[in-house]
Structure 1
Amino acid sequence: MKPFVNHIPTKLYFGAGQLGMLGTLPMPGKRALVVITSGKSMRSSGTLDRVVKLLEHNHVSAVVYDKVQANPTREQVMEGAALAKQEQCDFVIGLGGGSPIDASKAIAIMAANPGDYWDYVSGGSGKALPIPNPALPIIAITTTAGTGTEADPWSVVTNGNEKIGFGGEMTFPKISIVDPELMLTVPPQLTAFQGFDAFFHAAECFLANCATPISDLYCLKSVELICKSLPRAVRDGEDLAARTDVALANTLSGMAEATSCCTSEHSLAHAIGGFHPNVPHGAALIMISKAWFKFYALRAPKQFAALAKAAGQSDFLGALDKLQRDCGVDELKMSDYGITREELPAINENAWETMGGLFELDRVKMNREESLSILEESYR
């Protein structure tokens, strides 16, 4: 067995009703920047008001930054960081799905450091400079189950057509609250897209060449829970037991990302999102998944047998197909999102140039021609 390191410094509060803990937990500061998306759901559901009132009860004042898009941009990170500095916020709360929590991590870096966020990002046109100062403390309150970002240090931000994951020890949330009651109103298709994102995080981290015995435990349990309960959560969003299973699977997949890593499937999906920000990340992954996992299947039979067993099937590719059909996402087409076949070579090249490091983590190495063939096979 190879030596490994296991380090997840986030204090996690998991379970129905756990949002209430925000009113009594020791906070890392006295003035919070609360980061949400530009959509209406956090306000219309009353969740934002609840969070602000709980903070007030805990003697913390709040400033809201509400301009984050589904794919957070460098510009939004810099704008949020400027607001945090102006309002003298001493910690950041990401409230919502992966987008605002990812943005909150990047904002926490830039609220405490000079220059531009892309000065520090590695990959693509990022300058990969060392970060001089520690980020502001981060609290993650997730209202969806997809990215696992509440349990890992990674933040995905877009700059032009570069969509790059970046982070480090300073961007682990200090506290994360995972309350499945906050997820009951997520629409069926979005539930499916998010659940598949978590599913692929777990499956990729299990297949990565940096996987450890600990990350394997997280991965296989995540796959098991998603195959068991994601179709139920899609069919009936108010099924709290199913929502709780999927929420736990999501958090476990984040723990897997903190102790192993995603691989080239995510490089390709990020490149699709970089060229077409209208494509939900989970949808991009779903559309290329069958071809990507087929490339792997015969080359890693031991790992695929373990994944199939966790999925409750004899064949993992069959389990993947069944899960997509059961969740109603098996007919997704790239062309429906405006992606053209002629763009595929540029998307493929972008994947290698911006997040090429993930190709290095593939247990089974592929080259540029093979990754392009996966995109071409996936195209409809």
Structure 2
Amino acid sequence: MKPFRLKHEDVILYFGEGSLEKASWFFNGLKKVGVITGKQSARVSGALDDLTKIMSEKGIEPVFYNEVSPNPFLSQALKASEQFWRESVDAIIAIGGGSVIDVAKVVSVLTVSGCKFESLLQGVKPKRRLPLLAINLTHGTGTEVDRYAVVTVDETREKHGLSVTYPDVSIDDPRYTLTLSLEQTIYTSLDAFYHAYESATSTVSFPLVETLSFEAITIIGEKLPKLVGNLRDVNLRASMLYASMLAGLSIDMASTHLVHGIEHVLSGLEPRLPHGAGLAMLGPRVVYYTHKAMPEVSARLLKPLNPYIKPIAEDAERAMKSVQVFQERVGFKQRLGDYGFTENDIPRITEFLFTRLKYMIEETPFQVTEDIVRDVLKSAF
């Protein structure tokens, strides 16, 4: 895939092999930067070595925070913000997938704005923040091109998605995704699939979102079955990274809805649950209800998975099964019980959604009732 540069809202994205070098202007004038990573992926992917080389050449001192976990906690963002404030860093660099980049977005604001996280939740947009470079290591979240961040409040286990800031510069280099494991390849790719499907069927969607989402689903439907059998194919990785980026643009323009709403409850309560895995467990049944509400749009989006799905509400079962079959084809077979959940947890999960995270389902294209949520959860066991 030919490398390119994209300007979307406040972010400049460099896509393709060697993209970090093309963004080297970001480092001009910097003396000390805060580098946010997870435990291993920054090093294993090769991205950290490339970054270290550039910083060394330009005489930039790095200050590391490497404690970000999957389904990250607010406490991690607060610790990194305090550390970088004390060190007086000039900018923030994130090397990782959605968890790392999301934390970095929050950190870029909290470090210098004097704003509290609670204010960010209420939609406050601080005027001050640190410049942010995001080096993306997965083809799942699309967070490198959107304004959203997701973190879990430690005490309440509320996993909040909030509009914070765009990165100033983002890097999508497919070479950095070559070391994703088979499981992470599947999880992140299915995350991108549900970004595309949900955003195009949300109540705030519009034709451009449908166009981008359809292209993303087309690529995922064609390339993911090939990629799971050939993880070191950089061309397949590039295609999946492109699809994920398109889906990220879609959710930035529209939104997700019920699949993400319920999943945020689940992985907030049990952080061991990978986000993409949770979506894949819940997703097919939500597709059923979505297709009943929006059969024409849903059938068009799912055509790459099954061209025989009809644009009528009566084909909702076929739409659901087509997604299930696709997920099984690429090797996804996990259930909620694998992470310690039982059907006895359904009332608690349902109550949590409707009392604490109801805003997550406001753009769902049908009326969400407790009976529907219970039905979706039962389908995931």
Distance 1:321 1:373 in 2: 16
Counterpart amino acid of residue 243 in structure 2: A
Q: How does 1:259-278 map to 2 (within 5 A)?
A: 259-278=253-272
Is it true that 1:83 corresponds to 2:57 in the alignment? no
Counterpart amino acid of residue 326 in structure 1: R
CA contact (8 A) 1:23 1:55 kept: no
- Calculate the aligned-residue CA RMSD, in Å: 1.9
Q: In the alignment, which of 143, 159, 165 is matched to residue 163 of structure 1?
A: 159
Match of 2:35 in 1: 34
CA contact (8 A) 2:343 2:378 kept: yes
Post-superposition offset of 1:378: 2.3
Instruction: Report the 3-state secondary structure (helix = DSSP H, G, I; strand = E; otherwise coil) of the residue aligned with 2:331.
Output: coil
Post-superposition offset of 1:22: 4.0
Counterpart amino acid of residue 12 in structure 2: K
Counterpart amino acid of residue 339 in structure 1: F
CA spacing shift, 1:188–1:28, aligned 2, 3 Å: farther
Match of 2:278 in 1: 284
CA spacing shift, 1:358–1:13, aligned 2, 3 Å: same
Counterpart amino acid of residue 336 in structure 2: M
Deviations 1:60-108 (A, max 9, x none): 3321110111111111000000111111112111111111101100111
CA contact (8 A) 2:45 2:137 kept: no
- With normalisation by structure 1, the TM-score equals 0.90
Distance 1:109 1:346 in 2: 33
Distance 2:256 2:29 in 1: 30
CA spacing shift, 1:359–1:26, aligned 2, 3 Å: same
Match of 1:14 in 2: 15
Instruction: Report the 3-state secondary structure (helix = DSSP H, G, I; strand = E; otherwise coil) of the residue aligned with 1:205.
Output: helix
Match of 2:355 in 1: 353
CA spacing shift, 1:88–1:132, aligned 2, 3 Å: same
CA spacing shift, 1:375–1:27, aligned 2, 3 Å: farther
Q: How does 1:88-99 map to 2 (within 5 A)?
A: 88-99=88-99
CA contact (8 A) 1:92 1:139 kept: yes
Is it true that 1:23 corresponds to 2:44 in the alignment? no
Post-superposition offset of 1:241: 1.4
CA contact (8 A) 1:12 1:178 kept: yes
CA spacing shift, 1:359–1:24, aligned 2, 3 Å: closer
Counterpart amino acid of residue 33 in structure 2: A
CA contact (8 A) 1:234 1:327 kept: yes
Match of 2:314 in 1: none
Counterpart amino acid of residue 166 in structure 1: L
Q: How does 1:353-372 map to 2 (within 5 A)?
A: 353-372=355-374
Match of 2:316 in 1: none
Post-superposition offset of 1:370: 1.5
Equivalent residue pairs, number: 364
Which runs of 4 or more aligned residues in structure 1 lie more than 4 Å from their structure 2 counterparts after TM superposition?
Answer: 24-29
Instruction: Report the 3-state secondary structure (helix = DSSP H, G, I; strand = E; otherwise coil) of the residue aligned with 1:94.
Output: strand
Distance 2:296 2:45 in 1: 45
Distance 1:129 1:173 in 2: 18
Match of 2:313 in 1: none
Distance 1:87 1:298 in 2: 54
Match of 2:230 in 1: 236
Post-superposition offset of 1:26: 5.6
Instruction: Report the 3-state secondary structure (helix = DSSP H, G, I; strand = E; otherwise coil) of the residue aligned with 1:151.
Output: coil
Distance 1:112 1:167 in 2: 18
Match of 2:60 in 1: 60
Distance 1:27 1:308 in 2: 45
Distance 2:182 2:208 in 1: 32
Is it true that 1:326 corresponds to 2:329 in the alignment? yes
Q: How does 1:100-179 map to 2 (within 5 A)?
A: 100-114=100-114, 116-117=116-117, 119-122=118-121, 128=122, 130-160=124-154, 161-168=157-164, 171-179=165-173
Structure 1, gaps ≥5 residues long: 1-5, 123-127
- With normalisation by structure 2, the TM-score equals 0.90
Is it true that 1:212 corresponds to 2:206 in the alignment? yes
Identity value in percent: 27
**Structure 1 stretch 305-314 or stretch 356-365: which is displaced more?**
305-314
Distance 2:378 2:359 in 1: 22
CA spacing shift, 1:132–1:307, aligned 2, 3 Å: closer
Post-superposition offset of 1:368: 2.3
Match of 1:189 in 2: 183
Instruction: Report the 3-state secondary structure (helix = DSSP H, G, I; strand = E; otherwise coil) of the residue aligned with 2:149.
Output: strand
Instruction: Report the 3-state secondary structure (helix = DSSP H, G, I; strand = E; otherwise coil) of the residue aligned with 1:67.
Output: coil
Instruction: Report the 3-state secondary structure (helix = DSSP H, G, I; strand = E; otherwise coil) of the residue aligned with 2:66.
Output: strand
CA contact (8 A) 1:153 1:258 kept: yes
Distance 1:134 1:153 in 2: 16
CA spacing shift, 1:139–1:285, aligned 2, 3 Å: same
